[in-house]
Amino acid sequence: MRAERNVWALVSGVFLTILLFASAYRVQEWDQVIITQFGKPVGGPITAAGLHFKLPLIQRIWRFDKRILNWDANPNQIPTKDKKYIWVDTTARWRMTDPLLFLQTVQTEENARSRLDGIIEAATRDIISNYNLVEAVRNSDSIIAKVKLKRDMATRGELPPGEEEGIGEIEPIVLGREKLSEMIIEKARAGLKELGIQIIDVQLRRIAYEASVESKVFERMISERQRIAQKIRSVGLGEQSKIRGKITRDLQQIESEAYKRSETLRGAADATAIRNYAAAMNSDPEFYEFLRTLEAYKKALPADTRLILSADSEFLELLKKK
C-alpha cells in the first residue's frame, strides 16, 4: 500500500535525523573535546575544529576550553620577611593542556579554579613571606644608582631645579618582582601539571600596605617630605650666602684691581715725567733753576699782596738782583 510506505518513510526519516543529531557534534576553534563511552575515555582529545561524529547514546562528549583563561586570587595578607604586613593580590593565566587528565582529576572549570586557589595562593604566601618587601616592589637596583647620581649632583650643587634629593637609604634587592613571580610559577607548576593544567604566568597585580601599617607609612612619608623641604630651604639659604659672599669677593677684587691699575698707570706716567724733566734739566740745571724760581714767584704771588720781607731775605736778594 502506498500510504503505508509513506508513513514508514516518514518515521525512519525522523529517526535518522534524531540519530544524526545525536551522533554529530561541532568542535569550535576554541574547544577541545573528550569522548567517553560508559564513562571510559575513548581515543585522545579532539582539538581540530569542525564537524565530528560519535556513537549516539552510548558515547558522551566533554567539552573544554583550550584558550588562555584567567584566575584571580583572593587578596591575602602576608607578612614579609622584614615583618611588614602587606596585601598581596595576584592573578594568573592558565590553560587546560591535558583535557583527559583534567577530566579525570577535576572535571569542571569550577573545581579547577578552587584547586588553583589553593596551589597558587600557597605558593605566593611561601615566596612572599621568605623575602623582604622591596623584593616584591622593585625589579632592579636602578633606583639606587639614580638616587646616588642625584645625591652627587646635589653635593656638587648641580641638581637641576625641580629635582629633589632623596632622603634615607634604599635597600638593594637580591631577586626582584619578576623573579618572585617566576618562583611562584615554578612552585605552582608541579602541582598543577597533575591536573592537566599549564600555568602561563602569575602577575603580582597589587601589593598594598595593610591598613594599620598604612597610616604609619603615611606618617613616615610626611616626616620624610618635611626633611626634604627643610633641606631644600637650607640649600636655598646656603646658595644665597654663597652669592652674597661672591658679591663681597667680586667687589673687593674689582675695586682693588682698579686701584692697582690706576696707581700703576699714574706711577708709570710720573716716572716718565720725572725722566723727561730730568733729561731737560740736566742740560743746564742752573738756567732751569733760575727760570723755575721766576715762574714760581709769578705763580705764588697773587695781585695786591702785602709783602713783608726780612732784610736778609733771599727774595729781597732776588728783587735787588740785576
Q: What part of residues 190-219 is at the interface with other proteins (CB under 8 A)?
A: 200-201, 203-209, 214, 217-218
Q: Which residue stretch of 37-45, 121-129, 137-145, 190-198 sits at the interface with other proteins (rule: CB under 8 A)? A: 137-145
In the complex with other proteins, the residue whose CB is nearer, 39 or 305, is 305
Residue 203 three-state SS: strand
Per the structure block, which three cell numbers stand in for 68? Answer: 588562555
User: Does the footprint of other proteins cover residue 53 (CB under 8 A)?
Assistant: no
Is residue 164 classed exposed, middle or buried when 0-12, 13-18 and 19+ CB atoms within 10 A define those classes? middle
Give dist(CA 124, CA 73) in Å, integer.
Answer: 10
- Please tell me what DSSP assigns to residue 108: S
Q: Distance between CA 115 and CA 197 in Å, rounded?
A: 10
Residue with cell 706711577: 267
- Among 88, 116, 123, 177, contact with other proteins (rule: CB under 8 A): 177
Closer by beta carbon to other proteins, 40 or else 65: 65
User: 3-class SS at 180?
Assistant: helix
Q: Residue 42: which of 29, 53, 28 has the closest Cα?
A: 53
Site for other proteins in 100-129 (CB under 8 A): none
In three-state secondary structure terms, 31 is strand
List the one residue from 17, 37, 114, 272 that touches other proteins (CB under 8 A): 272
Quick check: 19 binds other proteins (CB under 8 A)? Answer: no
- Give whichever of 40 and 321 is closer to other proteins, judged by the CB atom: 321
CA distance 91 to 207: 12
DSSP annotation of 117 reads H
Q: Does 61 bind other proteins (CB under 8 A)?
A: no
Least separation, in Å, of the C-beta of 28 and other proteins?
4
In whole angstroms, give the CA distance from residue 111 to residue 213: 35
Instruction: Report in angstroms how near the CB of residue 42 gets to other proteins at its nearest.
Output: 20
Task: Indicate the residue among 38 and 129 with the shorter CB distance to other proteins.
Answer: 129
For residue 11, state whether it binds other proteins (rule: CB under 8 A).
no
Query: Counting contacts by CB under 8 A, is residue 182 touching other proteins?
Result: no
Question: Hey, which residues between 26 and 45 contact other proteins (CB under 8 A)?
Answer: 26-31
Size of the site for other proteins (CB under 8 A): 129
Q: Is 50 in the site for other proteins (CB under 8 A)?
A: yes
Is 55 a residue that touches other proteins (CB under 8 A)?
Answer: no
Phi and psi at 149, nearest 5°, equal -60, -45
Q: Residue 162 has which C-alpha cell?
A: 625641580
- The verdict on 81 binding other proteins (CB under 8 A) reads no
Q: Smallest gap, in angstroms, from Cβ of residue 306 to other proteins?
A: 5
Query: Can residue 298 be called a binding residue for other proteins (CB under 8 A)?
Result: yes
Q: Is the dihedral of CA 74, 80, 84, 90 positive or negative?
A: negative
**What DSSP state is assigned to residue 192?**
H
Smallest gap, in angstroms, from Cβ of residue 273 to other proteins? Answer: 3
